[in-house]
Structure 1
Amino acid sequence: MAEYDRWDIRKLLILRTLRERGTVTATAEALLLTPSAVSQQLTNLAKQLGVPLLEAQGRRVRLTDAAELVLRHAAAVFEQLERADAELAAYVHGDVGEVRVGAFSTAVPALVVPAVRVLRTTRPGISVQVREAEAAEAYELLAAGAVDLALSLAVQAPTAADPRFTRVPLLADPLDLALPRDHALAGADAVRLADLAAEPWIFGGSGPWSDITRGACEAAGFSPHQGHSAAGWTAILAMVEAGMGVALVPRMAAVRRDGVVMRALDADRPHRHVVAAVRRGAEEGVAVARVLAALREVAARLDR
């Protein structure tokens, strides 16, 4: 008879998190444990399974081939447990439950809050707990079990082939051009990105928005000169209003300012793609499915 008690789910979760986070310290922080507790649990798991799971690599540790084999099989176990948990919750609660949502800043007012309003009317037994997080961090929270659903940008999301998650495309958010009100092109019949090739551009020094802005401009045939660096939309639009430069702004993030003209681009209009994700198997839970449906409904309105 197989010794199934060797397969400790909690310890397997620690091992999986170590592979995702890379260090014992980061794993401990993600799971709210001490580094010594993480090391002890993994040592015990190695003894239970009878194979070495970690090997020293300088000051760090790396997973052995045996550990990768263990995790490959554990992935199916985690998926099935998510399905079981979702089905049990549906059986016990029906349309009742709490869904924890991690979302990047502009998605909160544009997508999450309207979805919560929809649910209050249609599914009052489902509550949503919102946690604002950077787009990449939302997936880390999802993997660690800190949220049940993550909203992120496709450029920062794991690939659709990642076995841990089920991804749901939500929205292709157009990027509009923010110009000072007195700019020569503010009232032009049509505007192309290439018309702004000589302008100072305002965008973050690194991260997804830098990549999106540079990628859009390079697709239009030029490399943007970064006149100023800012990550927050309030700061970016304030600088545009002051005539300090131009910027690409997601339509979801645009806030009206008297001194800024927002122009939709024509032939080369870029987009950023917003996706939702859940741990694979959890999408079958009633409460999570209801929240996803409400998010799709809101996204469909915005996409018109």
Structure 2
Amino acid sequence: MAEWEIRKLHILRTLREQGTVTATAETLRMTPSAVSQQLTNLSARLGVPLLQAQGRRVRLTDAARLVLRHAEAVFEQLERADAELAAYARGEAGEVRVGAFSTAVPALVVPAVRALRAAHPGVSVRVREAEAEEAYELLAAGEVDLALSLAAHAPSAADPGFTRVPLLADPLDLALPPGHELASADRVRLADLAAEAWIFGGSGPWSDITRAACEAAGFSPYQGHSAAGWTAILAMVEAGMGVALVPPTAPVRRAGEVMRALTEERPHRHVVAAVRKGAADAPALERVLTALREVAAGLSGQERRE
């Protein structure tokens, strides 16, 4: 196979456009002898004559025109590559892999993706749902570029391998069965439910959050039932089997349960993003982080208005 060299092909194309070796040298800021030497070398590598003397000038051979006809497709593709690289450098193109816990996907990631499609259609986001702790394992392994999880399961701010980006302090509501004595009370405190059966997962972040919130209110919650998915948790609340703490961003709400905001010591779960140290400066990743911040700010503003 012939050895193709882009720089030498560019010189040949310029000679076709300028007509003389002297004009080609001036255009490319080379010496005429350097132009001749490069084209002689290209001819030797391709194994065909590219130039033919015509008086004191040279003209392109039929072989040279054939070479340039194929080279044009190469130049066109390289122009496209340059344009895409420039877009990538500006953060207008690129793929970002996001690992996120279940409720963060519809509440934060999906709205951010929609905003990016409108403002920066060249930036694509590939989403992988993962448990809170698993998201950081995926980040450390290089399988995602950004991890969305809860602060309790994020790397510490002192971790040299990651940069943490706070996104949202998500207030927690109380899900009560219909007809519960506190469903219509003027004030609801977490301590008022110390004797209730609580519904939360046997382990993982939601178990930790529920236990920590109840212990901060002065009691250890009795776990009446164990469930990790919001569909199951809220179905049991609706059936009068217990009570639960629920984030406003939970994707499933049922008509039967009663949602009440706690009036004192309202607990929050803190949602954070993490990236590998130094990666936040990557333009496409920075676009995704900005979109997530804007969605989170909108949710925080909505909560303040409510």
The structure 1 residue matched to 2:200, chosen from 200, 203, 206, is 203
> Which contiguous aligned blocks of 4+ residues in structure 1 show a shift greater than 6 angstroms?
none
* 1:235 alignment counterpart: 232
* 1:130 alignment counterpart: 127
Q: Is the 8 A contact 1:241 1:259 kept in 2?
A: yes
SS at 2:180's partner residue? coil
Quote how far apart the aligned CAs of 1:92 are.
Answer: 5.1
SS at 1:226's partner residue? strand
Distance 2:248 2:201 in 1: 17
Distance 1:294 1:110 in 2: 12
Q: 1:146 to 1:90 in 2, by over 3 A?
A: farther
SS at 1:189's partner residue? coil
In the alignment, residue 191 of structure 1 is paired with which amino acid?
A: V
* 1:172 alignment counterpart: 169
In the alignment, residue 112 of structure 1 is paired with which amino acid?
A: V
SS at 1:218's partner residue? helix
* 1:96 alignment counterpart: 93
Report the TM-score when normalising by structure 1: 0.69
The structure 2 residue matched to 1:193, chosen from 187, 190, 193, is 190
* 2:275 alignment counterpart: 278
Distance 2:254 2:149 in 1: 26
Quote how far apart the aligned CAs of 1:256 are.
Answer: 2.4
Distance 2:246 2:88 in 1: 44
Distance 2:86 2:288 in 1: 14
Report the TM-score when normalising by structure 2: 0.69
Quote how far apart the aligned CAs of 1:254 are.
Answer: 5.4
SS at 1:253's partner residue? coil
Quote how far apart the aligned CAs of 1:90 are.
Answer: 6.6
Quote how far apart the aligned CAs of 1:253 are.
Answer: 1.0
Distance 2:88 2:183 in 1: 58
Distance 1:92 1:152 in 2: 27
Q: Is the 8 A contact 1:96 1:287 kept in 2?
A: yes
Give runs of aligned pairs for residues 1-304 of structure 1, distance below 5 A. 93-94=89-90, 95-253=92-250, 255-304=252-301
Quote how far apart the aligned CAs of 1:235 are.
Answer: 0.4
In the alignment, residue 124 of structure 2 is paired with which amino acid?
A: S
Quote how far apart the aligned CAs of 1:255 are.
Answer: 2.6
Distance 1:92 1:301 in 2: 28
1:92-121 deviation digits (Å, cap 9, x = unpaired): 543111100000011000000000000011
Q: Which runs of 5+ in 2 are unaligned?
A: 1-84, 302-306
Distance 1:142 1:268 in 2: 33
Quote how far apart the aligned CAs of 1:237 are.
Answer: 0.3
SS at 1:303's partner residue? helix
Q: Is the 8 A contact 2:87 2:93 kept in 1?
A: no
> In angstroms, what is the RMSD of aligned CA positions?
1.5
Q: 1:135 to 1:225 in 2, by over 3 A?
A: same
The higher radius of gyration belongs to 2
Q: Which runs of 5+ in 1 are unaligned?
A: 1-88
Q: Is the 8 A contact 1:178 1:237 kept in 2?
A: yes
Quote how far apart the aligned CAs of 1:125 are.
Answer: 0.9
Q: Is the 8 A contact 1:171 1:273 kept in 2?
A: yes
- Count of aligned pairs between the two proteins: 217
Distance 1:181 1:286 in 2: 49
SS at 1:278's partner residue? strand
Distance 1:92 1:224 in 2: 51
In the alignment, residue 202 of structure 1 is paired with which amino acid?
A: I
Distance 1:92 1:227 in 2: 52
